[in-house]
Structure 1
Amino acid sequence: MSVRIATAPRVGWPYTLIAICGVALYLFPIYWMFTSGLKTSAEIFANPPTLIPQNPTLEAFAHVFARENVLRYLRNSIAIAAPVTILTLVMGAMGAYAMSRLRNRLVDVALVTVLMLQVFPEALLATPMFIIFRALDILNTFAAVILATTSKTLAFALVVLRPMFRQVPIELEEASRVDGCNSWQTFWRIVLPLMRTPLIVVGTLAFVQAYGQFVYALTLMSDQELQPATVGIYSFVGAEYADWHRVMAFSSVFVAPVIILFLIMQRKIVAGLTAGALK
């Protein structure tokens, strides 16, 4: 009796070619940004444009490090992104867990309301937040931008984490209570470890969104010493002139931490997104 071994279906070369073209099209702007930072000002405007720098130079990178305080801008971006990520994970995890366990129509109404509020663009919400934070006397501080950005990332965390918490069997919590755990211990020791991958996904995406914050940073902070890298890049572009090769060098330095973060966390992110899709 012969045994037939099931094998994965082969993907034809047209699909492989389409996938390669899609990835190349997606990555080309990043490649163009990095290579443009290695070009001279004259080569930036060459016609036809050069895909590979003819005389690569690090002058633009040296300029942004020595003259434009790029490290200060990066430090400010991280000083905003790190607290936003922590607040999003802490409040998002507790809020989503509570919403997953409460069987009440008001919870669904609250979740729909949160989703509807995300429709409003940041530019529309910046003015009301400016008035509120001015009354609280926290303008020109990291706290203003952190709170404003968390209001966006927290809503995303609630929407993503609530259905994931609902997948945790209630029997595990009941068993932990039989063993003497209170509600906080059950959440911290039993439920939260099972949510490690979804929390990593939410934390990574919240960090990236806060790291790239521009509208709230530009509106709520006028002190240049506190402004993040997104505002620093914006200052390169003037009404009549833009130093494009230095803009690209600054952008390359700014984007590098995000790319490294995604390369490190890519398996966790894919696993978390896939698990959410399957559930």
Structure 2
Amino acid sequence: MTGTKRPWLLTLVAGVITAFFLLPLYWMIATSLKKPDQVLTSPPQWIPSPPTGESYTRALDKPMLGQALLNSVAISLGVVVLTLLFAVPLTYAIARIGMRGSGAMVLSLLVAQLLPSIVLAAPLFIVLRQVELTNTLIGLIIADTTLTLPFAVIVLRPLVRAMPVEVEEAGLVDGCGLPGVLWRIVLPVMRPGLIAVGGFSFLLGWGEFVFGITLNSDPKVQPVTVLLNTFVGQTGTDWGPLMAVATLVSIPVVCVFAMLQRFIVGGLTAGSVKS
């Protein structure tokens, strides 16, 4: 009752919490607009005065920046395609086909979701080196997919299980066949979850750093997250260009989440309530 009488208090608390989480983002943008002699001043300068694009100019002069951005785009889109390509049939098989050991498979996917990427880096490096996929974009795509695929199956499985089996049986009776049922009946029902999984896969592929630096030593195929690390040297950190590139890297993340926010929230919650 108290909360309904004081909505302004809840709004204030929510605003303070939101501002707290957005403070690093603001500081990143503000630092990218400062002059070099204003970055580490004490007390800190909260508002760039005057704002300047010098850091962006220096950042854009960084060798391999354009190539690194293209590599990140290719890796992220590849992770989305590979994740959806494997997640849909795997999810349907676990949810519908009475396979022996499907429960253990789901448990193993949950365990894989909990493992940090650094734990998987060493075995993935050994496997990819055996098939000569280290220092390649395909190798990084496969490595990142090992992180997104368990999440995709966990999100999509409730959607398939919530769908009445009778609908699929009717499609089989009408002559669709299993591929037709999967394409015409199951996929439309899974659409919210597929969009959520696709958005999550893109964001993870775009921001992944551990595999980019452990499975790759060729600057020509490094993602932009690894390029950010080159601004940190033994003698100091070039904060202005670093924050400028970080701001540029954040723009696709914000745009993707803003466009898919409704689908991501709906996809993550769809199938969680049993009708």
Residue 196 (structure 1) aligned to one of 191, 194, 206 = 191
Cα 1:226–1:104 shift into 2, 3 Å: closer
Partner of 1:206: 201
Q: Which one-letter code corresponds to 1:43 in the other structure?
A: Q
1:235 and 2:256 correspond: no
C-alpha RMSD of the superposition: 1.6
Partner of 2:121: 126
Residue 67 (structure 1) aligned to one of 62, 81, 86 = 62
3-state SS of paired residue (2:196): helix
1:255 and 2:250 correspond: yes
Residue 147 (structure 1) aligned to one of 124, 139, 142 = 142
Partner of 2:161: 166
Partner of 2:74: 79
Structure 1 residue runs without a partner (length 5+) = 1-8
With normalisation by structure 1, the TM-score equals: 0.92
Q: Which one-letter code corresponds to 1:259 in the other structure?
A: V
CA displacement 1:202-223 (0-9 Å, x = unmatched): 1101111111111111111111
User: Percent same amino acid among aligned pairs?
Assistant: 40
**Contact 2:155-2:268 within 8 A present in 1 as well:** no
1:182 and 2:182 correspond: no
Residue 222 (structure 1) aligned to one of 217, 222, 226 = 217
Structure 2 residue runs without a partner (length 5+) = none
| Post-superposition offset of 1:104 | 4.8
Q: Name the CA distance, whole Å, in 2 between partners of 1:179 and 1:173.
A: 10
Partner of 1:97: 92
Q: Name the CA distance, whole Å, in 2 between partners of 1:277 and 1:187.
A: 21
Q: Which one-letter code corresponds to 1:74 in the other structure?
A: L
| Post-superposition offset of 1:105 | 5.8
CA displacement 1:159-178 (0-9 Å, x = unmatched): 11111111111111112122
How many residues in Structure 1 have an aligned counterpart in Structure 2? 271
Residue 18 (structure 1) aligned to one of 8, 13, 25 = 13
3-state SS of paired residue (1:100): helix
Q: Name the CA distance, whole Å, in 2 between partners of 1:10 and 1:275.
A: 32
